[in-house]
Structure 1
Amino acid sequence: MNYPSLEKYNEALQAPARAIQDPQLRAGQLRTTGLGLPLALCGGFALTYTVDTGGKRFALRCFHKKSNDLEQRYQAIALRLKQLASPYFLPFDFIPNGILIDGNLYPIVKMEWAQGTTLAEFLERNHGNAAALTKLRQALAALSAYLEAQQIAHGDIQPENLMVNADGSSVQLIDYDGMFVEALRGSGATELGQANFQHPKRTASNFNEQLDRFSFITLDVALQALAVSPGLWKASNSEPSAIVFRRNDFLDPGTSVIFNQVLGLPGLTVPAQSLAQLADGPFDQVPTLADFRVQRGLGPNTIVFNPQGKPKDIAYQSPYTVCDAANFAQVEAQVGSRVELIGRIVDVTQKRYGRNKKPFIFINFGDWTGKSVKLSIWSEALRQFPSEPNSSWNGRWVSVTGLVEPPYHGQAGKISYVSIGISIENPGQIKQLTEVEARFRLRGGKAPVVTAGRNENILKGMGGAGNTVPRSTSQQAPKPLPPPSTPNAQVLQRMQRQTPQAVPRPTGSAPRPSSHQVSPGPRKTSSPKRMGAGAWIALIVFFLIVLRWCSG
């Protein structure tokens, strides 16, 4: 089945009572952007919207990536989880005809909202709290043992799929798209999980109750290391998508700077050596976390650790498609997908909008008067920042993970502009990089060995595609952009009439003209055109004739 795009879902959910078929959800209130437009979060095969109704909060999950048997898989997963009735999982309903889009009904998942914060957010705040990290290690070990006992696997154990309570003593799983349950044995995986927490040799044929073992071991060693050395968080550039270790470390542990740092920490030599050995070995020989902790079933270490040694020629291995923030067409091709956006900040604009003068910030990566990429930080997210981004950020290189929102076409006087970008939900999405690291990641994002599209390749093999939006490379010219859809345009026009200070944008992505009156700098001029092949041939022939004439 082909599923609607992000734009289609956002349009339909501007009238939820008409689009949503579930009586409880259709009576609810969707979480929106600063302008009252649906706010979508990305997770696996589905876009997630937040719905408050009757004093409860639900996650409305709408599928936007196609697969021949996704619905059958979810039904099998739902049946098994209802049988278990475990607090590790959230109650949910798979509704085959849950939402109406352009006259067609599509499935949705209605899931109770998880309490607490994601593991990613928890670690942002507590990576220096040894007591909290110790409790968290115990909670994750208990979860690992439970999954092993039930012979099921989540398939994508990583910080954004784990919810943690305030003190780290209990955890809960979300996002069940890639789960293994007995009824699915032999069917193959639909995804390979987030690359920084997966065994390098994991393939689609590896689909059984052992899927989560390497992920749990990776997290366990990382948390143990942070408890001993909190400074490792910054030294390793840890973030929501990577805790201490990255896929690049697993591909070449011997020369990995991080592995060699962890080896030198008290009590970490053996765990770090064993983790490196597992990463270098076969996927199906990874032990349970319980066995790993007591060094049961592990072979002798054969890896030579030498941080001064010559590293393997391996490109940057991002868990997501890497996009250059200076390349509008490349980012546009990823609308509706989660990406790693890398770029140099040109301008930070601080403004207020609406009748209540709520603060917001735009972070621009280019000249806003043309086609540009930017970040939007709305008031709710802005409150989470310990210090607000300001002009001191200009010139910094950053890495940003998030969902690419649809482009917005705007008009500021005689200037027509188009903007596209990401809405920031928490500070951890933005990480500062050195220019050297940023350029390394950008090169890796375009290299053949990059693994960001691993899950998409699996989907294609199943008869599906990775996304409803076609991919393009940085060499492709940008496609002609249509004007804003009629429903969005009408909503934005009403907002402009009612709240003069509002910032019009569909799905929370585009600025109002007045927000950009401070230009980040002069516009770039076009570079001289290169000579074509024909011109070079003619020039060479001309010189040959001249030489012959002179010699004659």
Structure 2
Amino acid sequence: MAKNYPTIGEYNQLMQKKGGSAFKSLNGINLIPSKTSPIKVYLFGSGAFAAVFKGSLNGRTYAIRCFLSAEDETINRYKAICSYLKNIHSSWKTDCEFIENEISLNGNAYPILKMEWMNGLLINQFVSNHLSENKVLAELQAKLVSVSEDLERNKIGHGDIQCGNIIISGTSDDFQVKLIDYDGMYVPDLAYKKSIEKGRSEFQHPKRTLNNFSPEMDRFSFWVMITALEALKHDKTLWREVMQGGFNTLDNFLFTIQDFLNPNQSALFNRLYNLNSTSLNFYLETLKWLCNSEYSVIPPPALYGNSSNITKSIPSEHQKYVPNSQSIDRTVSASKYKIITTNGTASVLTSTFQKLGSTPLELDKQTYEGKLILVSNGKETKRITLNSHQNLIEIKFD
């Protein structure tokens, strides 16, 4: 059920009139105006659901989000998210607290969301400032992978990893990746719910739906970012704005949804392949394969050279299999599994994307019984659980 909330103007007028005394538990907070001339204005920004104000209390600076509209479901989500994050001690986290009945207007009390005010640069601004420093770009890649691992370790999904929600604090020699905007976050108390958003398309798998709501939902976004950073190590002109011949829209990390939907026709993918870099090709092969695969098979992000769980030769749609013109040998010993494909060769991978070989392939039955394997020709991926009742596994692709 929706509740009627004050307008931006009403909140701002209250701040102008009462200052810090407008709040209950935060009574005395020193409100910081966004501008002082010709009159003081306290609003720092607003979105569809909240107006943002800024204040300092006990030596710390906070962002105060005052709601403009919210369903009961939205309020309950905020409560669950803030409650869960209280016990999480991670470098990417910004402290947040949901406070009920904190501000009164027109005879009614309304909640606020108090969050740590983050100083720093949006990640795309940080990249612009350090574009020529490959060491910094590599460190940023590593930190993004670390954040991804930490989110999943703590059973958290952000839901909208993109330029506007990542702030880099500190200096190029010592910086931290901070995540902001927890509106669409997954925490265990929200299990069995749906996502409230699908995130910016420039960072999302084209098959992501609102049902994809879990600690794994940010994996594709991180793959996009570390791939783009690898590309920028080799060609700085990619970061030029689109009107200047580059691929930077100011809201993306080189890629757009069209690249994900049609990687074979993507001018960006083709240009990156022409750079002929082994390390970059690892990321490109992975990203292109993911674009052509189901959302459910996206592996955790990993850095080139430190990716024990991910093959360096993940098949992708641009790789054409060579049809097998010879007759297929279907003989197999009782102690083996034999995987064959009837319309071309395919790669066989473990459930953690370690490449086992190409079809036709024999696997030891004792070692792989009950294990899940993936068989992919670059366009399709089949998931097969090996069991003792079969020795010959014959795969047909569309």
TM-score by length of 2: 0.70
> Which residue of 1 is the match for residue 316 of structure 2?
301
CA drift of 1:87 comes to: 2.9
Aligned equivalents of 1:260 and 1:22: distance in 2?
A: 58
> Which residue of 1 is the match for residue 161 of structure 2?
157
Question: What is the letter of the counterpart of residue 51 of structure 2?
Answer: L
* Contact 1:153-1:212 within 8 A present in 2 as well: yes
Q: Which runs of 5+ in 1 are unaligned?
A: 306-552
> Which residue of 2 is the match for residue 32 of structure 1?
34
**In the comparison of the two structures, how many residue pairs are matched?**
305
> Per-residue displacement from partner, 1:173-219 (whole Å, max 9, x unpaired)?
11111111111010111122222111111111111111110011111
> Which residue of 2 is the match for residue 185 of structure 1?
191
Question: What is the letter of the counterpart of residue 301 of structure 2?
Answer: L
CA drift of 1:51 comes to: 1.7
* Contact 1:25-1:51 within 8 A present in 2 as well: no
* Contact 1:180-1:208 within 8 A present in 2 as well: yes
> Per-residue displacement from partner, 1:238-275 (whole Å, max 9, x unpaired)?
25411111122212222121121122222322311321
Q: Of the candidates 267, 270, 288, which is equivalent to residue 282 of structure 2?
A: 270
CA drift of 1:75 comes to: 1.3
> Per-residue displacement from partner, 1:143-187 (whole Å, max 9, x unpaired)?
111112122111111122122132164212111111111110101
Structure 1 pair 228–23 and aligned structure 2 pair: CA distance change class (3 A):
same
Structure 1 pair 65–215 and aligned structure 2 pair: CA distance change class (3 A):
farther
> Per-residue displacement from partner, 1:350-378 (whole Å, max 9, x unpaired)?
xxxxxxxxxxxxxxxxxxxxxxxxxxxxx
- Secondary structure at the residue paired with 1:48? strand
> Which residue of 2 is the match for residue 72 of structure 1?
76
Aligned equivalents of 2:18 and 2:198: distance in 1?
A: 33
Aligned equivalents of 1:207 and 1:46: distance in 2?
A: 23
> Per-residue displacement from partner, 1:61-118 (whole Å, max 9, x unpaired)?
1223423311111111112111123232122210111222333222111112124322
* Contact 1:49-1:59 within 8 A present in 2 as well: yes
> Which residue of 1 is the match for residue 300 of structure 2?
288
1:231 is aligned to 2:237: yes
CA drift of 1:226 comes to: 1.0
Aligned equivalents of 2:135 and 2:250: distance in 1?
A: 21
Aligned equivalents of 1:178 and 1:110: distance in 2?
A: 17
Question: What is the letter of the counterpart of residue 30 of structure 1?
Answer: I
Aligned equivalents of 1:156 and 1:113: distance in 2?
A: 19
> Which structure shows the higher helix fraction?
1
CA drift of 1:9 comes to: 3.0
* Contact 2:142-2:303 within 8 A present in 1 as well: no
CA drift of 1:30 comes to: 2.6
> Which residue of 2 is the match for residue 166 of structure 1?
171
- Secondary structure at the residue paired with 2:66? strand
> Per-residue displacement from partner, 1:410-432 (whole Å, max 9, x unpaired)?
xxxxxxxxxxxxxxxxxxxxxxx
Aligned equivalents of 2:123 and 2:184: distance in 1?
A: 19
Aligned equivalents of 1:49 and 1:304: distance in 2?
A: 52
Identical-pair percentage: 31
Q: In terms of mean alpha carbon deviation, does 231-240 or 103-112 score higher?
A: 231-240
1:249 is aligned to 2:249: no
* Contact 2:19-2:31 within 8 A present in 1 as well: no
> Per-residue displacement from partner, 1:115-149 (whole Å, max 9, x unpaired)?
43221321231223212111111111111111121
Q: Which runs of 5+ in 2 are unaligned?
A: 321-398
Question: What is the letter of the counterpart of residue 143 of structure 2?
Answer: A
Aligned equivalents of 1:90 and 1:188: distance in 2?
A: 24
* Contact 1:44-1:175 within 8 A present in 2 as well: no
> Per-residue displacement from partner, 1:469-512 (whole Å, max 9, x unpaired)?
xxxxxxxxxxxxxxxxxxxxxxxxxxxxxxxxxxxxxxxxxxxx
Structure 1 pair 16–262 and aligned structure 2 pair: CA distance change class (3 A):
farther
Aligned equivalents of 2:127 and 2:27: distance in 1?
A: 32
- Secondary structure at the residue paired with 1:83? coil
Aligned equivalents of 2:48 and 2:129: distance in 1?
A: 25
> Which residue of 2 is the match for residue 197 of structure 1?
203
Q: Of the candidates 259, 264, 282, which is equivalent to residue 269 of structure 2?
A: 259
TM-score by length of 1: 0.51
> Which residue of 2 is the match for residue 84 of structure 1?
88
Instruction: Quote the RMSD (CA, aligned, Å).
Output: 2.5
- Secondary structure at the residue paired with 2:149? helix
1:467-478 matched pairs, under 5 angstroms: none
Aligned equivalents of 2:18 and 2:289: distance in 1?
A: 52
Question: What is the letter of the counterpart of residue 128 of structure 1?
Answer: S
* Contact 2:228-2:254 within 8 A present in 1 as well: yes
Question: What is the letter of the counterpart of residue 301 of structure 1?
Answer: S
Question: What is the letter of the counterpart of residue 251 of structure 1?
Answer: L
Q: Of the candidates 11, 14, 17, which is equivalent to residue 13 of structure 2?
A: 11
Q: Of the candidates 214, 223, 243, which is equivalent to residue 208 of structure 1?
A: 214
